[in-house]
Amino acid sequence: DRAAAAEQMQDAIATAEALERPFDLAFAYTWAAMFESQDRNFAGAAEHAGRAMEISQRHGFDGWLAAGAMQLGVAQAGLGDAPQALALVGGTLPAWQASGAELNIVFFLGGLAEAHHAAGHNEQALETVDRAIAHAEQHGEHWYDAELYRRRGEWRVQQAGAASANAGAAEGEADLRRAIEIAREQGARRFELRAALGLAHALAAVGDRAGAVPVLREALQPFPTATDNIDQREAAALLAELAA
């Protein structure tokens, strides 16, 4: 329920503001940035991350300053500003890990991979995703697995181009199917829908429209008719195009 989640996020910020606790407010804005990035509202994420950094800098909250910088980097990757994203995430993540922090490393590595991809560093993007998947296995932080496999699948398919028999295309399709499977097991419907959208694009690109349609229909089924998020709108539009 996106609307309920957004309301709770705003309540958290309002509560921190009412209590006049800068530490809590930096915490709330950092998580609000992550929420907006997950919703693909990268401009909103950048705004929240900037606020978290401003508060953290003013009060000497080094940990939240680093987290805010990486959240801003993830948002900038989503907005297409690869140099800024690489500087923020790539420049902050090593120190964050050196401090002993491990939570959400998979998310930040995913953002770093996006930044490399946006910059045209395709091999580094794939290597960074592989690193994130390995980290998830090592530390048991699997909540972001579906998104990592989706990214790797989409990028492998893109690199393979129109050669549907290419090993990279087959590996990419397998990654996308794995992403759908993981998301379904975890009940992560948005992640499932994104992976299904990626798989449908891949199938349609090689002429398998008949295979793409049921993938989208199944992933869209749990969502209400009203399209309240960008993933749902894109999936519904592609389904209408393929089913026409």
Tell me: do 126 and 232 sit in the same domain. no
Please, are residues 77 and 115 in contact by the beta-carbon 8 Å criterion? Answer: yes
> Closest Cα to residue 138, out of 127, 150, 130, 126?
130
CATH number at residue 55: 1.25.40.10
Tell me: do 88 and 106 sit in the same domain. yes
Q: Within 10 Å of residue 227's Cβ, how many Cβ atoms?
A: 15
Tell me: do 116 and 136 sit in the same domain. yes
Owner of token pair 């199917």: 177
Tell me: do 135 and 182 sit in the same domain. no
Tell me: do 153 and 137 sit in the same domain. no
Domain end residue (candidates: 96, 114, 141):
141
Tell me: do 78 and 172 sit in the same domain. no
Give me the pLDDT at residue 180, please: 98
Take residue 224 and report the two structure tokens written for it: 């209400």
Tell me: do 102 and 82 sit in the same domain. yes
Q: pLDDT tens digits, residue range 208-232?
A: 999 999 999 999 998 877 667 899 9
What total of structural domains would you count in the chain? 2
Q: Name 97's Cβ contacts closer than 8 Å, sequence gap at least 6.
A: 105
> Closest Cα to residue 51, out of 13, 90, 108, 12?
13
Tell me: do 135 and 223 sit in the same domain. no
| Mean pLDDT of the chain, nearest integer | 92
Please, are residues 235 and 219 in contact by the beta-carbon 8 Å criterion? Answer: yes
Give me the pLDDT at residue 165, please: 55
Dihedral sign for Cα 101, 178, 197, 227, please.
Answer: negative
Q: pLDDT tens digits, residue range 11-23?
A: 988 998 888 899 9
Rounded Cα–Cα distance for residues 180 and 193 (Å)? 8
Tell me: do 8 and 96 sit in the same domain. yes
Tell me: do 25 and 56 sit in the same domain. yes
Q: Give the pLDDT band (50/70/90) at residue 58.
A: very high
pTM of the model as a whole: 0.92
Q: pLDDT tens digits, residue range 92-133?
A: 998 888 888 888 999 999 999 999 999 999 999 999 999 999
Domain end residue (candidates: 119, 141, 163):
141
Owner of token pair 């008949």: 210
Take residue 6 and report the two structure tokens written for it: 């957004």
Tell me: do 122 and 94 sit in the same domain. yes
Domain encompassing residue 164: 149-244
Domain end residue (candidates: 87, 122, 141):
141
